[in-house]
Chains A and B, each alone.
Chain A
Amino acid sequence: MPTLNRIRLEAVEDAGGGCLRLVCAPASLIAPMPGQFYMVRGPWEADPLLPRPFSIARFRSVKNGQIQLEFLLRIIGRGTRLLGTARAGSELDVLGPLGIGFEQPPGDSAWMVAGGIGIAPFPALIDAIATPKRKLSLLVGARTEAEIPGFNDFAANLTGGVEIATDDGSAGFAGTVVDLLASRLDRASDQTPSQVYVCGPHAMMEAAAAVCMDAGIPCSVSLEAPMGCGMGTCRGCVIRTFRNTNFTICTEGPVTDANVIWSEQNSQ
Protein backbone atom coordinates (compact mmCIF):
# COMPACT_ATOMS: atom_id res chain seq x y z
CA MET A 1 0.00 0.00 0.00
CA PRO A 2 1.85 3.10 -1.18
CA THR A 3 2.12 6.35 0.75
CA LEU A 4 3.47 9.76 -0.22
CA ASN A 5 6.12 10.99 2.19
CA ARG A 6 8.48 13.93 2.37
CA ILE A 7 11.78 12.65 3.69
CA ARG A 8 15.23 14.13 4.17
CA LEU A 9 18.27 13.26 2.12
CA GLU A 10 21.06 12.21 4.46
CA ALA A 11 23.89 11.81 1.95
CA VAL A 12 24.73 11.53 -1.73
CA GLU A 13 27.62 9.10 -2.13
CA ASP A 14 29.78 7.99 -5.03
CA ALA A 15 28.62 4.45 -5.84
CA GLY A 16 31.29 3.81 -8.47
CA GLY A 17 31.04 3.52 -12.23
CA GLY A 18 29.59 7.03 -12.49
CA CYS A 19 26.64 6.09 -10.24
CA LEU A 20 25.44 7.89 -7.14
CA ARG A 21 23.79 6.55 -4.04
CA LEU A 22 21.01 8.61 -2.43
CA VAL A 23 20.87 7.73 1.23
CA CYS A 24 17.67 8.93 2.88
CA ALA A 25 17.24 9.72 6.55
CA PRO A 26 15.25 7.13 8.52
CA ALA A 27 11.53 7.84 8.43
CA SER A 28 8.24 6.22 9.39
CA LEU A 29 7.60 4.32 6.18
CA ILE A 30 6.14 1.03 5.08
CA ALA A 31 8.92 -1.51 4.54
CA PRO A 32 9.32 -2.29 0.83
CA MET A 33 9.96 -5.65 -0.81
CA PRO A 34 13.15 -6.02 -2.87
CA GLY A 35 12.39 -5.14 -6.50
CA GLN A 36 9.66 -2.65 -5.61
CA PHE A 37 10.19 0.99 -6.55
CA TYR A 38 9.44 4.56 -5.54
CA MET A 39 8.50 7.64 -7.53
CA VAL A 40 11.03 10.24 -6.36
CA ARG A 41 11.00 13.99 -6.81
CA GLY A 42 12.59 16.97 -5.14
CA PRO A 43 10.29 19.70 -3.78
CA TRP A 44 11.02 21.96 -6.74
CA GLU A 45 8.44 23.80 -8.87
CA ALA A 46 7.01 22.52 -12.16
CA ASP A 47 10.22 21.69 -14.00
CA PRO A 48 11.20 18.87 -14.15
CA LEU A 49 7.56 17.96 -13.76
CA LEU A 50 7.18 14.27 -13.07
CA PRO A 51 8.73 12.19 -10.33
CA ARG A 52 11.24 9.59 -11.51
CA PRO A 53 10.94 5.87 -10.78
CA PHE A 54 13.78 4.29 -8.79
CA SER A 55 14.13 0.70 -7.64
CA ILE A 56 14.77 0.36 -3.95
CA ALA A 57 18.52 -0.32 -3.88
CA ARG A 58 18.68 -1.11 -0.19
CA PHE A 59 16.65 -0.51 2.94
CA ARG A 60 17.23 -0.99 6.62
CA SER A 61 14.93 -1.12 9.61
CA VAL A 62 16.41 1.18 12.22
CA LYS A 63 15.26 2.36 15.63
CA ASN A 64 11.55 2.85 16.42
CA GLY A 65 10.52 0.83 13.40
CA GLN A 66 11.79 3.54 11.06
CA ILE A 67 12.96 2.63 7.57
CA GLN A 68 16.03 3.98 5.84
CA LEU A 69 15.89 3.93 2.02
CA GLU A 70 18.73 3.98 -0.48
CA PHE A 71 18.47 4.62 -4.20
CA LEU A 72 21.09 4.25 -6.89
CA LEU A 73 21.09 6.58 -9.85
CA ARG A 74 23.08 7.58 -12.88
CA ILE A 75 22.73 11.15 -14.08
CA ILE A 76 21.10 10.91 -17.51
CA GLY A 77 18.76 13.90 -17.69
CA ARG A 78 17.49 16.94 -15.84
CA GLY A 79 15.59 14.98 -13.19
CA THR A 80 18.47 12.72 -12.26
CA ARG A 81 20.87 15.69 -12.37
CA LEU A 82 18.82 17.62 -9.80
CA LEU A 83 18.51 14.55 -7.59
CA GLY A 84 22.16 13.59 -7.98
CA THR A 85 23.38 17.08 -7.14
CA ALA A 86 20.97 17.59 -4.22
CA ARG A 87 22.64 18.44 -0.93
CA ALA A 88 22.46 16.42 2.24
CA GLY A 89 19.59 17.82 4.29
CA SER A 90 17.41 18.67 1.31
CA GLU A 91 14.00 17.08 0.99
CA LEU A 92 12.60 14.42 -1.31
CA ASP A 93 9.01 13.39 -1.99
CA VAL A 94 8.83 9.62 -2.24
CA LEU A 95 5.71 7.76 -3.34
CA GLY A 96 5.85 4.06 -2.61
CA PRO A 97 6.56 1.26 -2.19
CA LEU A 98 5.10 0.52 -5.62
CA GLY A 99 4.70 -2.50 -7.84
CA ILE A 100 5.60 -6.15 -7.52
CA GLY A 101 9.07 -7.15 -6.31
CA PHE A 102 11.28 -10.23 -6.53
CA GLU A 103 10.38 -13.66 -5.19
CA GLN A 104 12.70 -16.01 -3.33
CA PRO A 105 14.65 -18.37 -5.60
CA PRO A 106 13.28 -21.93 -5.71
CA GLY A 107 16.66 -23.49 -4.89
CA ASP A 108 20.07 -22.93 -3.34
CA SER A 109 21.72 -21.10 -6.19
CA ALA A 110 20.73 -17.84 -7.87
CA TRP A 111 22.45 -15.50 -10.30
CA MET A 112 21.86 -11.80 -10.66
CA VAL A 113 22.58 -10.29 -14.06
CA ALA A 114 22.97 -6.51 -14.17
CA GLY A 115 23.40 -4.22 -17.15
CA GLY A 116 25.09 -1.07 -15.80
CA ILE A 117 22.82 0.85 -13.43
CA GLY A 118 20.55 -2.21 -13.63
CA ILE A 119 22.51 -3.33 -10.59
CA ALA A 120 20.24 -1.01 -8.56
CA PRO A 121 17.68 -3.50 -7.12
CA PHE A 122 20.20 -6.26 -6.36
CA PRO A 123 21.69 -5.17 -3.00
CA ALA A 124 18.20 -5.31 -1.44
CA LEU A 125 17.49 -8.63 -3.17
CA ILE A 126 20.74 -10.12 -1.88
CA ASP A 127 19.98 -8.91 1.66
CA ALA A 128 16.59 -10.66 1.42
CA ILE A 129 17.57 -14.00 -0.08
CA ALA A 130 21.06 -14.64 1.32
CA THR A 131 21.31 -17.69 3.59
CA PRO A 132 24.44 -19.55 4.75
CA LYS A 133 23.53 -22.34 2.35
CA ARG A 134 22.66 -20.29 -0.70
CA LYS A 135 25.19 -19.63 -3.42
CA LEU A 136 24.57 -16.20 -4.95
CA SER A 137 26.45 -14.82 -7.94
CA LEU A 138 26.50 -11.41 -9.58
CA LEU A 139 27.24 -10.86 -13.27
CA VAL A 140 27.59 -7.18 -14.08
CA GLY A 141 28.28 -5.60 -17.42
CA ALA A 142 28.92 -2.17 -18.88
CA ARG A 143 30.46 -0.63 -21.97
CA THR A 144 33.79 -0.10 -20.25
CA GLU A 145 35.46 -0.69 -16.87
CA ALA A 146 34.89 2.90 -15.75
CA GLU A 147 31.12 2.35 -15.98
CA ILE A 148 30.94 -0.78 -13.81
CA PRO A 149 28.98 0.22 -10.68
CA GLY A 150 30.52 -0.60 -7.32
CA PHE A 151 29.49 -3.80 -5.52
CA ASN A 152 31.93 -4.13 -2.63
CA ASP A 153 29.42 -2.95 -0.03
CA PHE A 154 27.15 -5.92 -0.70
CA ALA A 155 29.66 -8.48 -2.06
CA ALA A 156 30.03 -10.38 1.25
CA ASN A 157 26.93 -12.48 0.52
CA LEU A 158 27.93 -13.16 -3.08
CA THR A 159 29.39 -16.56 -2.22
CA GLY A 160 29.08 -17.70 -5.82
CA GLY A 161 31.35 -14.88 -6.93
CA VAL A 162 31.18 -11.74 -9.03
CA GLU A 163 32.02 -11.64 -12.72
CA ILE A 164 32.39 -8.53 -14.84
CA ALA A 165 31.80 -8.10 -18.56
CA THR A 166 32.83 -5.08 -20.61
CA ASP A 167 31.92 -4.46 -24.22
CA ASP A 168 35.43 -3.11 -24.92
CA GLY A 169 37.23 -5.82 -22.94
CA SER A 170 38.79 -3.28 -20.56
CA ALA A 171 37.96 -5.52 -17.58
CA GLY A 172 36.79 -9.10 -17.09
CA PHE A 173 34.92 -10.92 -19.84
CA ALA A 174 35.14 -9.20 -23.23
CA GLY A 175 31.56 -8.93 -24.50
CA THR A 176 28.11 -8.20 -23.17
CA VAL A 177 26.86 -9.45 -19.84
CA VAL A 178 24.38 -11.62 -21.77
CA ASP A 179 27.30 -13.29 -23.58
CA LEU A 180 28.89 -13.78 -20.16
CA LEU A 181 25.67 -15.33 -18.85
CA ALA A 182 25.53 -17.75 -21.79
CA SER A 183 29.17 -18.74 -21.44
CA ARG A 184 28.87 -19.21 -17.67
CA LEU A 185 25.79 -21.41 -18.14
CA ASP A 186 27.81 -23.54 -20.60
CA ARG A 187 30.57 -23.90 -18.02
CA ALA A 188 28.30 -24.49 -15.06
CA SER A 189 26.29 -27.53 -16.07
CA ASP A 190 26.78 -29.12 -12.64
CA GLN A 191 25.75 -26.02 -10.70
CA THR A 192 23.02 -24.49 -12.82
CA PRO A 193 21.24 -21.70 -10.91
CA SER A 194 17.70 -22.32 -9.68
CA GLN A 195 16.81 -18.74 -10.68
CA VAL A 196 18.28 -15.93 -12.74
CA TYR A 197 17.32 -12.32 -11.93
CA VAL A 198 17.94 -9.73 -14.65
CA CYS A 199 17.84 -5.95 -14.61
CA GLY A 200 19.15 -3.64 -17.32
CA PRO A 201 18.13 -2.12 -20.66
CA HIS A 202 15.03 -3.68 -22.27
CA ALA A 203 16.88 -5.35 -25.17
CA MET A 204 19.51 -6.75 -22.79
CA MET A 205 16.79 -8.27 -20.60
CA GLU A 206 15.05 -9.78 -23.61
CA ALA A 207 18.35 -11.36 -24.75
CA ALA A 208 19.13 -12.64 -21.24
CA ALA A 209 15.61 -14.08 -20.97
CA ALA A 210 16.12 -15.95 -24.25
CA VAL A 211 19.36 -17.47 -22.94
CA CYS A 212 17.63 -18.60 -19.74
CA MET A 213 14.62 -20.01 -21.59
CA ASP A 214 16.93 -22.03 -23.85
CA ALA A 215 18.63 -23.41 -20.75
CA GLY A 216 15.31 -24.09 -19.04
CA ILE A 217 16.14 -21.84 -16.09
CA PRO A 218 13.50 -19.61 -14.46
CA CYS A 219 14.25 -15.98 -15.26
CA SER A 220 12.71 -12.94 -13.65
CA VAL A 221 13.25 -9.47 -15.07
CA SER A 222 12.82 -5.99 -13.63
CA LEU A 223 11.24 -3.98 -16.44
CA GLU A 224 11.49 -0.29 -17.14
CA ALA A 225 9.68 2.25 -19.32
CA PRO A 226 8.97 5.98 -19.04
CA MET A 227 6.53 6.32 -16.15
CA GLY A 228 4.18 9.14 -15.26
CA CYS A 229 2.36 8.05 -12.14
CA GLY A 230 3.62 4.72 -10.79
CA MET A 231 0.01 3.86 -9.89
CA GLY A 232 -1.34 2.35 -13.11
CA THR A 233 -3.39 5.38 -14.08
CA CYS A 234 -1.40 7.27 -16.72
CA ARG A 235 -0.88 4.14 -18.85
CA GLY A 236 2.54 5.49 -19.90
CA CYS A 237 4.57 2.38 -18.99
CA VAL A 238 2.31 -0.19 -20.64
CA ILE A 239 4.11 -2.67 -22.93
CA ARG A 240 2.73 -5.36 -25.22
CA THR A 241 3.41 -9.02 -24.41
CA PHE A 242 3.98 -11.75 -27.02
CA ARG A 243 0.33 -12.74 -26.45
CA ASN A 244 -0.71 -9.26 -27.68
CA THR A 245 -1.97 -8.29 -24.24
CA ASN A 246 -1.00 -5.22 -22.24
CA PHE A 247 1.37 -5.41 -19.30
CA THR A 248 1.37 -2.40 -16.97
CA ILE A 249 4.92 -2.25 -15.66
CA CYS A 250 4.22 -0.08 -12.62
CA THR A 251 1.46 -2.27 -11.17
CA GLU A 252 1.90 -5.75 -12.71
CA GLY A 253 5.71 -5.40 -12.53
CA PRO A 254 8.31 -4.06 -12.52
CA VAL A 255 9.45 -7.60 -11.66
CA THR A 256 7.88 -10.45 -13.57
CA ASP A 257 8.72 -13.84 -15.00
CA ALA A 258 10.33 -13.32 -18.40
CA ASN A 259 7.89 -15.79 -19.99
CA VAL A 260 5.01 -13.43 -19.21
CA ILE A 261 6.51 -10.93 -21.66
CA TRP A 262 8.46 -13.01 -24.18
CA SER A 263 7.59 -16.31 -25.80
CA GLU A 264 9.77 -19.37 -25.32
CA GLN A 265 9.22 -20.14 -29.00
CA ASN A 266 10.93 -16.89 -29.94
CA SER A 267 13.95 -17.47 -27.77
CA GLN A 268 15.93 -19.39 -30.40
Chain B
Amino acid sequence: MTADLSVRIGDLTLRNPILTASGTFGYAAEYETMVDFNKIGGIITKGISPEPRLGNPQPRIWETESGLINAIGLDNVGVEDFEQSKLDYLRKIECAVIVNFFAESAEGYAKLARTLGAMAGVDALEANISCPNVKAGGREFGVDPVAAAEVTIASREATNCPLIVKLSPDVSNIGDIASAVADAGADAVTVANSMPAMAIDIESRRPRLSFGRGGLTGPAVRPIVTRLVYESAQATDIPVIASGGASNWRDVVEFLLAGASAVQAGTVNFVNPRASVEMAEGLETYCRQSGINSLTQLVGAVDMP
Protein backbone atom coordinates (compact mmCIF):
# COMPACT_ATOMS: atom_id res chain seq x y z
CA MET B 1 0.00 0.00 0.00
CA THR B 2 1.31 3.44 -0.86
CA ALA B 3 1.33 6.01 1.88
CA ASP B 4 -0.79 9.12 1.58
CA LEU B 5 1.82 11.84 1.27
CA SER B 6 -0.60 14.60 0.36
CA VAL B 7 -0.51 17.91 2.19
CA ARG B 8 -3.08 20.69 2.41
CA ILE B 9 -2.11 24.38 2.30
CA GLY B 10 -5.33 26.36 2.59
CA ASP B 11 -7.51 25.12 -0.27
CA LEU B 12 -4.56 23.68 -2.13
CA THR B 13 -3.68 19.98 -1.98
CA LEU B 14 -0.08 19.04 -2.74
CA ARG B 15 0.58 15.52 -4.04
CA ASN B 16 3.48 15.21 -1.64
CA PRO B 17 5.35 17.54 0.73
CA ILE B 18 8.34 18.28 -1.52
CA LEU B 19 8.56 21.77 -3.03
CA THR B 20 11.41 23.54 -4.81
CA ALA B 21 12.51 26.72 -3.03
CA SER B 22 12.21 30.15 -4.58
CA GLY B 23 15.36 31.33 -6.31
CA THR B 24 16.75 27.83 -6.78
CA PHE B 25 14.51 26.57 -9.56
CA GLY B 26 13.99 29.54 -11.88
CA TYR B 27 10.58 29.40 -13.47
CA ALA B 28 10.64 25.56 -13.77
CA ALA B 29 11.13 25.43 -17.57
CA GLU B 30 14.90 25.48 -17.02
CA TYR B 31 14.68 21.96 -15.52
CA GLU B 32 12.12 20.53 -17.93
CA THR B 33 14.42 17.86 -19.29
CA MET B 34 15.78 16.80 -15.89
CA VAL B 35 12.89 16.85 -13.43
CA ASP B 36 9.58 14.99 -13.63
CA PHE B 37 7.27 17.62 -12.15
CA ASN B 38 4.62 14.91 -11.59
CA LYS B 39 6.78 13.46 -8.84
CA ILE B 40 6.96 16.53 -6.58
CA GLY B 41 4.38 18.52 -4.67
CA GLY B 42 5.04 21.83 -6.32
CA ILE B 43 7.49 24.41 -7.51
CA ILE B 44 7.99 27.90 -6.10
CA THR B 45 9.12 30.49 -8.61
CA LYS B 46 11.88 33.05 -8.37
CA GLY B 47 10.57 36.02 -6.37
CA ILE B 48 8.51 38.39 -8.49
CA SER B 49 8.45 42.14 -7.89
CA PRO B 50 6.19 44.86 -9.33
CA GLU B 51 8.97 45.96 -11.69
CA PRO B 52 11.89 43.98 -13.21
CA ARG B 53 15.08 44.11 -11.14
CA LEU B 54 18.65 43.74 -12.41
CA GLY B 55 20.05 42.69 -9.05
CA ASN B 56 23.56 43.26 -7.71
CA PRO B 57 26.93 43.51 -9.52
CA GLN B 58 29.49 40.69 -9.38
CA PRO B 59 30.40 38.86 -7.25
CA ARG B 60 26.97 37.62 -6.20
CA ILE B 61 27.74 34.22 -4.66
CA TRP B 62 30.44 32.81 -2.43
CA GLU B 63 30.73 29.24 -1.22
CA THR B 64 31.56 28.51 2.42
CA GLU B 65 31.81 25.22 4.33
CA SER B 66 28.73 23.22 3.24
CA GLY B 67 26.98 26.46 2.45
CA LEU B 68 26.46 29.21 -0.07
CA ILE B 69 26.27 32.93 0.65
CA ASN B 70 24.36 34.89 -1.95
CA ALA B 71 23.51 38.50 -2.57
CA ILE B 72 21.75 38.22 -5.91
CA GLY B 73 19.69 41.32 -5.21
CA LEU B 74 16.30 39.84 -6.13
CA ASP B 75 17.12 39.84 -9.85
CA ASN B 76 13.79 38.95 -11.54
CA VAL B 77 11.73 39.57 -14.66
CA GLY B 78 8.95 41.58 -12.95
CA VAL B 79 5.26 40.73 -12.85
CA GLU B 80 4.44 41.86 -16.39
CA ASP B 81 7.07 39.73 -18.10
CA PHE B 82 6.30 36.87 -15.70
CA GLU B 83 2.75 36.77 -16.99
CA GLN B 84 3.78 37.18 -20.62
CA SER B 85 6.78 34.88 -20.86
CA LYS B 86 6.85 32.46 -17.90
CA LEU B 87 3.26 31.62 -16.98
CA ASP B 88 2.29 29.70 -20.13
CA TYR B 89 4.86 27.03 -19.34
CA LEU B 90 3.92 26.91 -15.66
CA ARG B 91 0.26 26.33 -16.59
CA LYS B 92 1.26 23.13 -18.39
CA ILE B 93 3.05 21.42 -15.52
CA GLU B 94 1.21 18.99 -13.29
CA CYS B 95 2.45 19.91 -9.82
CA ALA B 96 1.32 22.96 -7.85
CA VAL B 97 2.67 26.32 -9.00
CA ILE B 98 3.44 28.70 -6.15
CA VAL B 99 4.58 32.20 -7.00
CA ASN B 100 6.96 33.94 -4.62
CA PHE B 101 6.54 37.73 -4.51
CA PHE B 102 7.73 40.82 -2.69
CA ALA B 103 7.29 44.59 -2.68
CA GLU B 104 8.45 47.67 -0.79
CA SER B 105 5.23 48.53 1.03
CA ALA B 106 2.08 46.85 2.35
CA GLU B 107 0.15 48.48 -0.54
CA GLY B 108 2.73 47.04 -2.96
CA TYR B 109 2.22 43.52 -1.52
CA ALA B 110 -1.57 43.92 -1.79
CA LYS B 111 -1.42 45.06 -5.39
CA LEU B 112 0.90 42.26 -6.43
CA ALA B 113 -1.05 39.60 -4.50
CA ARG B 114 -4.23 40.75 -6.26
CA THR B 115 -2.59 40.61 -9.70
CA LEU B 116 -0.78 37.30 -9.23
CA GLY B 117 -3.63 35.65 -7.33
CA ALA B 118 -5.99 36.32 -10.24
CA MET B 119 -3.74 34.67 -12.83
CA ALA B 120 -4.97 31.29 -14.08
CA GLY B 121 -2.32 28.69 -13.34
CA VAL B 122 -1.14 30.24 -10.08
CA ASP B 123 -2.10 27.80 -7.32
CA ALA B 124 -0.71 29.66 -4.31
CA LEU B 125 1.39 32.67 -3.36
CA GLU B 126 4.45 32.86 -1.12
CA ALA B 127 5.13 36.33 0.28
CA ASN B 128 8.81 37.06 0.90
CA ILE B 129 8.79 39.45 3.87
CA SER B 130 12.58 39.56 4.33
CA CYS B 131 12.62 42.75 2.29
CA PRO B 132 13.26 46.35 3.28
CA ASN B 133 10.16 48.29 4.32
CA VAL B 134 10.76 51.63 2.62
CA LYS B 135 8.42 53.44 5.04
CA ALA B 136 10.27 52.01 8.06
CA GLY B 137 13.68 53.21 6.91
CA GLY B 138 14.55 49.92 5.24
CA ARG B 139 13.92 47.70 8.26
CA GLU B 140 12.72 44.29 7.11
CA PHE B 141 8.99 43.57 7.40
CA GLY B 142 9.87 40.08 8.63
CA VAL B 143 11.69 41.11 11.80
CA ASP B 144 8.71 42.80 13.44
CA PRO B 145 5.45 40.96 14.27
CA VAL B 146 3.39 44.11 13.61
CA ALA B 147 4.90 44.83 10.18
CA ALA B 148 4.78 41.11 9.29
CA ALA B 149 1.08 41.02 10.18
CA GLU B 150 0.46 44.23 8.26
CA VAL B 151 1.78 42.83 4.94
CA THR B 152 -0.01 39.54 5.58
CA ILE B 153 -3.36 41.29 6.12
CA ALA B 154 -2.81 43.45 3.05
CA SER B 155 -2.02 40.41 0.89
CA ARG B 156 -4.81 38.32 2.44
CA GLU B 157 -7.46 40.94 1.75
CA ALA B 158 -6.32 41.23 -1.86
CA THR B 159 -6.77 37.60 -2.90
CA ASN B 160 -8.42 34.30 -2.06
CA CYS B 161 -5.42 32.41 -3.42
CA PRO B 162 -3.75 30.26 -0.73
CA LEU B 163 -1.17 32.50 0.96
CA ILE B 164 2.13 31.33 2.41
CA VAL B 165 4.32 33.82 4.26
CA LYS B 166 8.09 33.19 4.14
CA LEU B 167 9.61 34.27 7.43
CA SER B 168 12.97 35.81 8.18
CA PRO B 169 15.25 33.66 10.39
CA ASP B 170 16.91 36.78 11.80
CA VAL B 171 14.56 37.23 14.76
CA SER B 172 14.79 36.56 18.46
CA ASN B 173 11.48 34.72 18.66
CA ILE B 174 10.20 33.23 15.42
CA GLY B 175 7.14 31.83 17.17
CA ASP B 176 5.88 35.40 17.75
CA ILE B 177 6.18 36.18 14.04
CA ALA B 178 4.62 32.85 12.99
CA SER B 179 1.61 33.33 15.23
CA ALA B 180 1.25 36.99 14.17
CA VAL B 181 1.06 36.10 10.47
CA ALA B 182 -1.23 33.13 11.21
CA ASP B 183 -3.63 35.44 13.08
CA ALA B 184 -3.36 37.86 10.14
CA GLY B 185 -4.74 35.21 7.79
CA ALA B 186 -1.75 33.33 6.34
CA ASP B 187 -2.53 29.75 5.28
CA ALA B 188 1.04 28.58 6.01
CA VAL B 189 4.49 29.86 6.89
CA THR B 190 7.78 29.00 5.22
CA VAL B 191 10.60 28.76 7.76
CA ALA B 192 12.86 30.33 6.78
CA ASN B 193 14.64 32.64 4.38
CA SER B 194 18.48 32.63 4.11
CA MET B 195 20.57 33.47 7.20
CA PRO B 196 22.22 36.90 7.14
CA ALA B 197 25.91 36.19 6.67
CA MET B 198 29.22 37.59 5.49
CA ALA B 199 32.61 36.46 4.21
CA ILE B 200 35.77 38.54 3.86
CA ASP B 201 38.81 38.15 1.61
CA ILE B 202 41.72 38.50 4.05
CA GLU B 203 44.09 39.58 1.25
CA SER B 204 42.05 42.53 -0.03
CA ARG B 205 40.15 43.01 3.27
CA ARG B 206 37.02 43.41 1.21
CA PRO B 207 33.80 41.39 1.51
CA ARG B 208 33.57 38.43 -0.86
CA LEU B 209 30.27 39.78 -2.23
CA SER B 210 29.76 43.13 -3.92
CA PHE B 211 26.83 43.85 -1.64
CA GLY B 212 28.92 43.27 1.48
CA ARG B 213 26.47 41.03 3.29
CA GLY B 214 24.49 38.11 1.91
CA GLY B 215 22.28 35.20 2.90
CA LEU B 216 23.63 31.77 3.85
CA THR B 217 21.85 28.66 2.58
CA GLY B 218 22.66 24.98 2.17
CA PRO B 219 23.40 22.13 4.60
CA ALA B 220 25.32 24.51 6.90
CA VAL B 221 22.07 26.15 8.06
CA ARG B 222 19.92 23.02 8.42
CA PRO B 223 20.25 22.47 12.21
CA ILE B 224 19.36 26.12 12.83
CA VAL B 225 16.34 25.86 10.56
CA THR B 226 15.28 22.63 12.28
CA ARG B 227 15.09 24.55 15.55
CA LEU B 228 13.22 27.44 13.90
CA VAL B 229 10.72 24.99 12.37
CA TYR B 230 10.18 23.35 15.75
CA GLU B 231 9.55 26.70 17.46
CA SER B 232 7.24 27.89 14.68
CA ALA B 233 5.21 24.68 14.77
CA GLN B 234 4.88 24.99 18.55
CA ALA B 235 3.55 28.54 18.17
CA THR B 236 0.92 28.07 15.48
CA ASP B 237 -1.60 25.60 14.07
CA ILE B 238 -1.12 26.53 10.40
CA PRO B 239 1.23 24.34 8.33
CA VAL B 240 4.95 25.10 8.59
CA ILE B 241 7.00 24.59 5.42
CA ALA B 242 10.67 23.96 6.16
CA SER B 243 13.25 25.63 3.93
CA GLY B 244 16.95 25.51 4.69
CA GLY B 245 19.53 22.91 3.75
CA ALA B 246 17.42 19.81 3.13
CA SER B 247 19.36 17.62 0.71
CA ASN B 248 17.86 14.14 0.92
CA TRP B 249 14.88 12.19 2.29
CA ARG B 250 16.45 11.83 5.73
CA ASP B 251 16.54 15.61 6.06
CA VAL B 252 12.89 15.68 4.97
CA VAL B 253 11.90 13.21 7.70
CA GLU B 254 13.86 15.22 10.27
CA PHE B 255 12.02 18.44 9.30
CA LEU B 256 8.67 16.62 9.44
CA LEU B 257 9.46 15.34 12.93
CA ALA B 258 10.35 18.89 13.98
CA GLY B 259 6.88 19.99 12.94
CA ALA B 260 7.06 20.79 9.23
CA SER B 261 4.15 19.75 7.00
CA ALA B 262 6.15 20.26 3.81
CA VAL B 263 9.81 20.73 2.91
CA GLN B 264 11.52 22.82 0.26
CA ALA B 265 14.53 21.65 -1.71
CA GLY B 266 16.69 24.72 -2.27
CA THR B 267 20.44 24.99 -2.73
CA VAL B 268 20.58 21.22 -3.31
CA ASN B 269 19.00 21.85 -6.73
CA PHE B 270 22.32 23.40 -7.77
CA VAL B 271 24.21 20.33 -6.60
CA ASN B 272 21.76 17.85 -8.11
CA PRO B 273 18.84 19.14 -10.20
CA ARG B 274 16.97 15.89 -9.57
CA ALA B 275 17.23 16.18 -5.78
CA SER B 276 13.58 17.12 -5.25
CA VAL B 277 12.36 14.01 -7.07
CA GLU B 278 14.85 11.83 -5.18
CA MET B 279 13.64 13.31 -1.88
CA ALA B 280 10.00 12.55 -2.74
CA GLU B 281 10.81 9.00 -3.83
CA GLY B 282 12.99 8.42 -0.77
CA LEU B 283 10.26 9.66 1.55
CA GLU B 284 7.72 7.37 -0.06
CA THR B 285 10.00 4.37 0.33
CA TYR B 286 10.72 5.30 3.94
CA CYS B 287 7.01 5.58 4.76
CA ARG B 288 6.20 2.28 3.07
CA GLN B 289 9.00 0.45 4.86
CA SER B 290 8.14 2.05 8.21
CA GLY B 291 4.42 1.32 7.95
CA ILE B 292 3.50 5.00 7.86
CA ASN B 293 0.16 5.54 6.10
CA SER B 294 -0.13 9.28 6.50
CA LEU B 295 2.31 12.10 7.02
CA THR B 296 0.33 13.15 10.08
CA GLN B 297 2.06 10.25 11.85
CA LEU B 298 5.38 12.05 11.35
CA VAL B 299 4.59 15.76 11.54
CA GLY B 300 5.74 17.12 14.89
CA ALA B 301 6.35 13.61 16.23
CA VAL B 302 9.74 14.46 17.71
CA ASP B 303 10.03 12.98 21.18
CA MET B 304 11.37 15.99 23.08
CA PRO B 305 12.96 15.44 26.49
Contact = CB atoms under 8 A, between A and B. Distances in A.
Interface string A1-12: 111100000000
Contacts of B66: 46-47, 49
Contacts of A231: 26, 30-31, 273
A229 interface: yes
B75 interface: yes
Contact of A236 (B57, B61, B65): B61
Contact of A246 (B55, B68, B218): B55
Nearest to A202: B58
B25 interface: yes
Nearest to A228: B270
A3 to B, nearest CB: 7
A49 B271 contact: yes
B75 A235 contact: yes
A244 B55 CA distance: 11
Contacts of A226: 58-63
B196 to A, nearest CB: 18
Interface string A51-87: 1000000000000000000000000000000000000
B269 A240 contact: no
Contact of B218 (A4, A46, A240): A46
Contact of B33 (A1, A46, A49, A233): A1
Interface string B40-65: 00000010000000110111111101
Interface string B291-302: 000000000000
Contacts of B219: 46, 49
A225 interface: yes
A240 B54 contact: yes
B272 interface: yes
Contact of A238 (B23, B31, B55, B271): B55
A236 B34 CA distance: 20
Nearest to B33: A1
B269 A229 contact: yes
Contacts of A236: 60-61, 70, 72
Interface size range on A against B = 20 to 34
A232 B269 CA distance: 12
Contacts of B152: none
Contacts of B31: 231, 233
Contacts of B269: 229, 233
A173 B25 CA distance: 47
Given A225-B59, A239-B58, A50 B33 contact: no
B226 interface: no
Nearest to B67: A49
A114 B68 CA distance: 30
B288 interface: no
B236 interface: no
A244 B271 CA distance: 30
A233 B26 contact: yes
Interface in A5-34: none
Contacts of A246: 54-55, 75
Given A229-B273, A238-B55, A238-B72, 13 more contacts: A4-B272, A4-B273, A228-B68, A228-B70, A228-B270, A229-B24, A233-B25, A234-B23, A235-B55, A236-B70, A236-B72, A238-B58, A245-B54
23 contacts: A3-B33, A4-B273, A46-B220, A47-B66, A49-B63, A50-B63, A225-B58, A226-B58, A226-B59, A227-B61, A228-B61, A229-B273, A232-B26, A232-B30, A233-B23, A233-B30, A234-B23, A234-B70, A235-B23, A236-B61, A236-B70, A236-B72, A237-B60
